[in-house]
Amino acid sequence: MPDKETGLNRREFITKSAAGMGLVAIMSSPLVEILKLKRDKPAEGNSQITSAAGDAPKNAKRLGQWCMVLDLRRCDGCTGLDLPPQCTQACTGYHFVPKGQEWIQIFKTELQGDGSYFLPTPCMHCENAPCVNVCPVAATYHTDEGVVLIDQRRCIGCRMCLGACPYQRRFFNWGTPEQPPEVNSIPYSPERQVPAIRGTAMKCDLCANMLHDDEPPVCVNGCPRKVIYIGDLTEDIASNGKEVVKLSRFLAENNAYHLKEELGTQPKVWFIPGHGEAVGRDAYDTKDRLPSVWAWGGDGFDYRINVVGQKQ
C-alpha cells in the first residue's frame, strides 16, 4: 500500500532511492544464478531461520553458511575513479545508514616495511562472536546461516557488544538517527535494520534479506573494482558478481588471512593481501580516499543527490 505522506509504496520507495543514489544492482551476475540454483536444492535438516526474538520462521529451500572474501589486490579505495568508496556508498544507500556510520569502512593502512594499502572492513560475522557472547538480552544472535544480526527491538542500549567487538565494527545511535523520513514506511526487520532506532546498536548485516531473495549483498555489486566476493562454505564457492571461484582453493592459493586471527573469534571474512596492484595502484601512492557522502541529514533528504554528492 502507498504511504499516506509520500504516496510511494515500499517497492517504489526502494527503487527510487537506489536510483537516486546510483545504486541499482546488476542482477545478471554469475552470483545470482548460484544463489538461485542453491535455493532449488532440497533442504537438509532444519530449513527454518528464527530470530532470538522468536519471530515467525522464514522458510528456505536450502541453508547456506555465508562468508566474504576481500581481494585487496583489486582495492584502491576508489581513488583511481575519483569517487568515495563505492562499496560504502552502496551499503549506505540501500540500508539508509544513519549519517556518520560506515558499516563497511575503508581504512588506508601501512604495509609492513613501506607503502600503503586500502582495507575494507565490514562486520566479520564471527563464528565465536564476542558480541553474541556478551549480549545480556540475546539481541545479538547468529542466524542458521551463520550471519550475526542485531534485533534492535530487543536491544537495551547497554553497549556491551560495542566494547566486546575487537574489530570496532559496531555503531550506536546516541541520538535520533539521521535518515530520510520515508524509512518509516518500511516494515522493520533485523535483516534490514530500517528504520534505525535511537539508543540501539547497528552494523553490517550482510544484506541477509537479499540473500534470502537470491540476491547478493549490495556492496558486492556496488564495488566497481570487483574486490568483494560473497561465498558459501557449504557449497565451497564464491563470486564477486563477475567470476565464480572454488572457495577453498581461492583462499589457499592466494594466502588469504583473517584480521586478528589470534583472538580465536573465527571470523567469516577473509582478506587476500595486496595494495591495489591489479587495478594499477602503486603501493607508494599518497592519494587518500574521498569521504563518504550521505544524501540525508542536515538540511534534509534529496533524492536527486547521487553518490558523489552532486545534484543530477
We report the CATH number of the domain holding residue 126 as 3.30.70.20
Residue 160 in any domain: the answer is yes
pLDDT digits (tens, 9 = 90+) for 141-166: 999 999 999 999 999 999 999 999 99
**Cβ atoms 256, 51 nearer than 8 A:** no
Name residue 285's amino acid: D
Residue 209 in any domain: the answer is yes
pLDDT digits (tens, 9 = 90+) for 2-17: 444 434 444 443 444 4
How far does Cα 29 stand from its chain's mean position?
A: 18
Which of 125, 201, 101 minimizes the C-alpha distance to 159?
201
* Co-location of 141 and 22 in the same domain: no
Residue 226 in any domain: the answer is yes
Find the helix or strand (DSSP H, E) in which 212 lies: helix 208-212
Overall average pLDDT of the 177-197 stretch: 91
Overall average pLDDT of the 75-95 stretch: 97
* Co-location of 108 and 155 in the same domain: yes
Range of the domain at 255: 66-301
**Cβ atoms 150, 202 nearer than 8 A:** yes
Of residues 68 and 180, which shows the higher confidence score? 68
Residue 210 pLDDT grade (very low, low, confident, very high; cuts 50, 70, 90)? very high
Residue 295 pLDDT grade (very low, low, confident, very high; cuts 50, 70, 90)? confident
pLDDT the model gives residue 140: 98
* Co-location of 73 and 181 in the same domain: yes
Overall average pLDDT of the 9-29 stretch: 41
* Co-location of 129 and 248 in the same domain: yes
How far does Cα 20 stand from its chain's mean position?
A: 20
Residue 276 in any domain: the answer is yes
Measured CA to CA, the distance from residue 73 to residue 70 in angstroms comes to 9
* Co-location of 20 and 100 in the same domain: no
* Co-location of 85 and 141 in the same domain: yes
Q: Which of 208-217, 225-234, 302-311 has the lowest mean pLDDT?
A: 302-311
pLDDT digits (tens, 9 = 90+) for 237-280: 999 999 999 999 999 999 999 999 999 999 999 999 999 999 99
* Co-location of 125 and 224 in the same domain: yes
Residue 96 in any domain: the answer is yes
- CA dihedral (287, 289, 290, 291) positive or negative: negative
- What predicted TM-score, i.e. pTM, was given to this entire model? 0.80
* Co-location of 27 and 101 in the same domain: no
Phi, psi of 236 (to 5 degrees): 60, 45
* Co-location of 29 and 98 in the same domain: no
Residue 174 in any domain: the answer is yes
Q: Tell me the Ramachandran region of residue 15: left when phi exceeds 0, alpha when psi lies from -120 to 50, beta otherwise.
A: alpha
Overall average pLDDT of the 281-309 stretch: 69
Find the helix or strand (DSSP H, E) in which 253 lies: helix 247-253
* Co-location of 29 and 71 in the same domain: no
Residue 56 in any domain: the answer is no
**DSSP symbol at 45:** S
> What are the helix (H) ranges across 21-169?
30-40, 86-95, 130-134, 160-164
CA triple 183-123-309, angle to 5 deg: 50
* Co-location of 197 and 86 in the same domain: yes
Structural domains in the chain (count): 2
Residue 288 in any domain: the answer is yes
Residue 40 pLDDT grade (very low, low, confident, very high; cuts 50, 70, 90)? low
* Co-location of 32 and 160 in the same domain: no
